Amino acid sequence: MKILDRLLTIGLREDKKRDLILLKLPSQPHEIDFNTTVRNLKKLFTSKKTLIRRRYEGLRITCPPLTQDNVPFRNYANTIKRMDEDAALNEMDYTSIKTLQDVAGLQESSLRKILLRMLRRLDTQAEDAPLTIEDLVAECENITALKVDNANMEASHDVHAVQKKTVKCFKCGGPHYKTFCLLLMKHSTKKPKRMQHRHKRKKSKMLPHSPLNTLRHISALMSEDTNYVSNWTLEQI
């Protein structure tokens, strides 16, 4: 048995040999039989992908492009054989092939979450009760209905809160009224408030409703009427 173990570990790198020894602990190397060594080697070198993932990738494999230096058909066929053997496609029945083909077609960007859930569903399903394509369709429709209901419920939820009224200056677009806009104050041609006050006081002195202005206005009218009457009398004479 030791000879077989040595033959199995001849081509291993040092790091893989160390991992194999750690897998045997706490047992000693001479206490491990051949079958246990093979199982430990499978743990180290077999793919960490799930069986459904390996089958999914096997269905999506494509042939490399044909060039002058490379005729890919032989390598493509060998890759298919290796991936099919690794994915155990010979153990799949007709129902399993249909369900896997249905899941493999969910490639559109809006279906990524559904694709992930369906792959997980296939991976966790018991082998003695395989899923049918109708089961997958019903579950996809159920997920879609839940997403639509969730979106409608979030849209109908109104938050009643007091919001501050937004103010926007028509000149600079800032959050203030135009009277407080620095840009308008800088370019304004209006007189200062002190000058405006003096100008108003001067105007108020000449307002017609003041007593002095009223008397002046009446006397001016009377003088105009007297001149008009005298001129009319002279013309008649």
Which of 12-21, 26-35, 185-194, 222-231 is predicted least confidently?
A: 222-231
**Whether 64 contacts 72, CB under 8 Å:** yes
The Cα–Cα gap between 92 and 88 comes to 7
pTM: 0.44
Residues 168-208 have pLDDT tens digits of 776 677 777 767 777 666 655 555 555 555 555 555 544 45
pLDDT for residue 103: 86
3-state secondary structure 137-176: HHHHHHHHHHHHHHHHHHHCCCCCCCCCCCCCCCCCCCCC
Residue 126: helix, strand or coil by DSSP? coil
One-letter amino acid at 209 equals H
Domain assignments of the chain as residue spans, ordered by start: 1-46, 49-140
Residues 74-101 have pLDDT tens digits of 988 998 888 888 888 888 888 888 888 8
**Whether 43 contacts 23, CB under 8 Å:** yes
Burial code (b: 16+ CB inside 10 Å, e: under 16) for 80-101 equals eeebbebbebeebeeebeebbe
